[in-house]
Amino acid sequence: MSGRSVTVASELEPVVTIAEIRSLPVGVGLVLWDDFPPTLAYLPGLWEERGWKTIAAEEAASRAANDAARRPCAGPGHRRMTGRHRPPRASGEAP
């Protein structure tokens, strides 16, 4: 090395202010992706779909089933499983 250093600085002008982001209407989102300029996108709500009542009912049923399945595991001394842990092996089970 020749002992020289180079500093590069750049400053970008905000396209959308924080106040504008906070005041975005329902269904509009700010998309920030890769090196592309920020974009405002329309995000349709579930209630705009034809079968939204069916979808909402199925979601509620799935949540209730998941909650019920978790309840027995919430007792004292129980460890919740995560992707990093495996359940204990049954005796005689091969590793």
| pLDDT value of residue 84 | 53
Domain boundaries, the chain: 18-72
Instruction: Answer yes or no: is pLDDT of 19 > 80.
Output: yes
**Sorting pLDDT into bands at 50, 70 and 90, what band is 65?**
very high
pLDDT digits (tens, 9 = 90+) for 25-57: 988 999 988 888 888 899 888 778 888 889 889
Kindly list the distances between the CA atom of residue 45 and the CA atoms of 33, 42, 49, 72, in Å, as whole numbers in the listed order: 22, 9, 8, 34
For residue 90, the number of C-alpha atoms closer than 13 Å in the C-beta half-sphere is: 1
Percentage of the chain beyond pLDDT 90 is 18
